[in-house]
Structure 1
């Protein structure tokens, strides 16, 4: 491998750790918190995107775009459900 282990690669490793950690959390917990799950996935996608902008790999960069979009959709669903619950709880 000729790519140096620079700060951008290290940032990418942290992004990878976030995404793997989120998948482990999803698998390990019976009722995962969507804020934790999707927030961690979005963070991972963002960190990997930083790395991929410097060390461009187009297929992986596109994958992270989809990964981030799905995480944002999940956060939006969690926000909408929370808002609906709060409105139903009001007298």
Structure 2
């Protein structure tokens, strides 16, 4: 029981991965928001989407709400929520594959 997150049955490294990836993704959104305000070179949307897909989407959701960044462009939002769905499906598959403890 010591190596699984309570209530989920997933290894702690999964939660740690989401935490670190979310922090990095939030920072990437903040850097892009700052670049947009300063009219500097922006982070490509593809990069932001890939960071979200790679377990960083919780941080992206927070950045979209708190920083009000990338929260109104419909084409980006559709792609973003598609990457969230793919990530959650992959997490569910991992959770299904991990033996119950």
> Could you state the TM-score of these two structures normalised by the residue count of structure 2?
0.40
Structure with bigger helix share is 1
Point out the structure with max Rg over C-alpha: 1
TM-score after normalising by structure 1: 0.44
